Amino acid sequence: MRAPTNRRLQPLLIVDGYNILRSSGRYDIAGVDDFDDSPVNRARENLIADVAAFAQGRYEAVIAFDGGGNEFSEGYPQRIAGISIIFSEANTDADQLIEKLVVKAREAGREVLVVSSDAQLQNTVFRDGVTRMSALGFSREMQDIGEDLDESGDNHSKFTVESRIDPDVRDQLRAMLKRVK
């Protein structure tokens, strides 16, 4: 029998996908029909990259997209860039999916950050342990991250495994590699 662990659960970041794509102005899909795949797919890919950069070790991240109008949508998550991407099941919307994710996370004692500017969603999920960031706030955060990378002159260092490892551990790994060679 395993001893119980007192490990603190990582906070959960839930992003209301299409709400952010339509609300923030950062993803350039204004006036694009959901069935016009090319611009929407590019926008989704950019959002996934942004969420991965934002979450980077601080959050377990989920992007919820509305799949309710698609009779074949089963609501299964996919992992892309370390992010869970979930299209809601047929006949449900992303708001219902987000509500379920929030309830499950809060029951497990996890902190939750929901990125959405949807007023109805805000009324149903925001309570103790659940915080909100607007689409505009998220866009500003992503712009700040981009500016930090530009100022550093190193557009990749913040996104490498090496940059996220404790410096002492990194030095030990380098020493081990030298001994192996």
Tens of pLDDT along the chain (181 residues) come to: 554 554 678 999 999 998 898 887 788 665 555 545 567 788 888 899 999 999 988 999 999 998 766 776 677 889 998 999 999 878 888 899 999 999 999 999 999 999 998 888 877 777 767 999 998 899 888 888 777 665 655 544 444 455 555 677 667 777 777 776 5
Domains of the chain: which residue ranges? Answer: 12-180
User: Which residues, at least 6 apart from 114, have a Cβ–Cβ distance to it below 8 Å?
Assistant: 14, 15, 16, 98, 102, 121, 125, 126, 130, 131, 132, 133
Look at domain 12-180 and name its CATH class.
alpha beta
